[in-house]
Chain A
Amino acid sequence: MEKAQREQLFWALMAELAEKGYRDASVEGPMAAAGVSTAEFEAEFKDKDACLFAAYDHMTELALNTATSDCESGREWPERLRDGLKKLLEAIAAEPELARAMTRSFPGIRPATYECYVELLARFLPYMEEGRKYSGVDEELPGEVELLAVGAAEAIIFSEVDAGRAERLPQMMPEILFSVLVPFMGPDRAADEMRSASAAL
């Protein structure tokens, strides 16, 4: 299977999952869409579940790369965070069904798939650690402050995607940024960053 075919298969399978749900989703349609034969499929995946897990891993990497591609640049952390969040929200708004599959359909299949979702969120935690430096009160902050920041953003994003309002997310970037920054900076400094982000929009 060519790399491009595999990627097309993953996208089609996640779309199938979002549209039909786990029980009714099949691999035949996505295989046809990607031009993948049964022999090629079986050479890489034991069954539908194996392909679904591989697809979810692939999409997780894409989401992480989208949000963190500029993280190594020399700009200040809040600015990099803002840009990463902006890119992620734009990607979600552009593919609302994929977002629903990533946040709702796949995690909801069974406890093992929900664990993948928790792991996806955990992948964002290292990018939050720098926020402690900006807090000015690093040693006093609770131990889970990075997860608090990620969880705040996830809750707002999940609510909008689940309600079929993913297209609003790019406009909501400043207020989501506020909820991510507030555990590190407090409400006044987080609001300053929110206003800057609004102006940049």
Chain B
Amino acid sequence: MEARADLLRPGKRERLMVAMAALCAERGYQETSVEDVAARAGLPVEDFDALFGGDRERCVLAALNAITGETMTAIASSYSPDRSEWDSYMLGIKAILELMAANPSFAHLAYVSSRQMGPPAVSDAHHAAIKVVTAMLERLWDYSNSETQPATTARGALGAAEAVVRREVVARRTEQLPRLLPDFVYAATVPFLGQEEALRLVRRARELLAGTPWV
């Protein structure tokens, strides 16, 4: 089982969610049974039944909710009134990438399994999460000097970033996601702020990765 950071406290429920995420990444949801999950977690099936009513879907949804909650916490924790909005924004993206890097199975669950492999309720949860993040991106419209962007701009920007995440997750390079911070910053900002400002933020993201102190 992969090394876990501090995504979840390791109670029985959390151990089962970690096992479910890992097995979905390895073999897919359809090929993952309750017995497999319990065995991977080192727990009896009775524990799974007691905690999730014997329902795989409930376990996947709980794991998805956990990673979504951690993502929102990471974003919120990156905000500081002592920093510019853009620096907070960039640090929020960095925190998400670091969260994914520390939890590859959960990254797979959030970006691949839930979108492609899960039952309808799991796909619906994925769509709901996408809508929330899309709405957050659309806030950047307030900073745009242009009114020419189409309605799907934010969805496209998020999709651009998701494609990079998925490629790295599938290639089992999830731990390297933080090094791609400049690409994610660019994807999220260029449709709204324009190329000149987006490239300025890319340079700033590169400074952040290089450890250059921000003034």
Main secondary structure of the interface of B (DSSP, over half): helix
The yes or no answer to A76 lying at the interface (CB within 8 A) is no
Stretch touching chain A among B44-52, B59-67, B80-88, B152-160: B152-160
Q: Does B183 lie within 8 Å of A108, measured CB to CB?
A: no
A-B pair number, CB within 8 angstroms: 145
Chain B interface: which size bin? 35 or more
Query: What CA separation (Å) do A7 and B31 show in the bound complex?
Result: 29
Q: Does B148 lie within 8 Å of A111, measured CB to CB?
A: no
The yes or no answer to A79 lying at the interface (CB within 8 A) is no
Given contact pairs A140-B199, A144-B183, A187-B190, A176 touches B160 in the complex (Cβ within 8 A): no
The residue from B150, B163, B167 contacting A194, defined by CB atoms under 8 A apart = B150
Chain A residues close to B by CB (< 8 Å)? 22-23, 104, 107-111, 114-115, 117-118, 121-122, 135, 137, 140-145, 147-156, 158-159, 162, 172, 174-176, 178-179, 182-183, 185-188, 190-191, 194-195
Chain B residues close to A by CB (< 8 Å)? 25-28, 30-31, 112, 116-117, 123, 144, 146, 148-153, 155-164, 166-167, 170, 180, 182-183, 186-187, 190-192, 194-196, 198-199, 202
Q: List 29 A-B contacts (CB under 8 A).
A: A108-B116, A109-B28, A109-B117, A110-B27, A111-B112, A114-B117, A137-B195, A140-B199, A147-B160, A148-B187, A149-B160, A152-B157, A153-B156, A153-B159, A155-B155, A156-B156, A175-B152, A176-B152, A176-B156, A178-B150, A179-B157, A182-B190, A182-B191, A183-B187, A187-B144, A187-B146, A187-B190, A188-B194, A191-B146
